[in-house]
Amino acid sequence: MSTNQLTAAAGGPVVKTTYNILNKRHPPNLENWAFIAKALDIPLWVLLIPGLDRHEDLLKADGLKRLVRLVESYMACSPEKRSEVELVAQAGAVVNRVTK
């Protein structure tokens, strides 16, 4: 998506602001992030996850859908069940580090 397309789709920041954000000239504020998330048709929180850009499989449409479904399911759990989900995720990360 070009800068102009993103700006038009978001209906928000002016082209210069969008250009500056995409070229890392200055960090966006929360309002700018919200416009970008709207243009990309993704939840705002997805843009705020540090390091997500290093996980290409999660940046594809199917990966983002899985990530959104995971977070929505996690939020719907009771606090006790969230602890169980966290333990499984931590165990998976440890296994992944050991097998690399």
Q: For residue 81, what are the domain limits?
A: 53-100
Residue with tokens 């920041």: 13
**Residues 41 and 11 occupy one common structural domain:** yes
- So what's the pLDDT on residue 17? 76
**Residues 33 and 67 occupy one common structural domain:** no
CB 58 within 8 A of CB 52: yes
**Residues 70 and 31 occupy one common structural domain:** no
Burial of 63 (0-12, 13-18, 19+ CB in 10 A): middle
Q: What is the mean pLDDT of each run of 10 residues along the chain (100 residues)?
A: 70 71 82 82 88 87 91 93 92 82
Sign for the CA dihedral angle at 66, 71, 77, 80 comes to: positive
- So what's the pLDDT on residue 75? 93
How far is it, in rounded angstroms, from Cα 82 to Cα 92?
15
How far is it, in rounded angstroms, from Cα 13 to Cα 19?
10
Q: Show which of 33, 48, 63 is a domain's final residue.
A: 48
**Residues 65 and 26 occupy one common structural domain:** no
Q: Would the pTM of this model clear 0.85, i.e. be above it?
A: no
How far apart, in Å, do the first and last CA atoms of the chain sit? Answer: 35
**Residues 65 and 89 occupy one common structural domain:** yes
- So what's the pLDDT on residue 91? 92
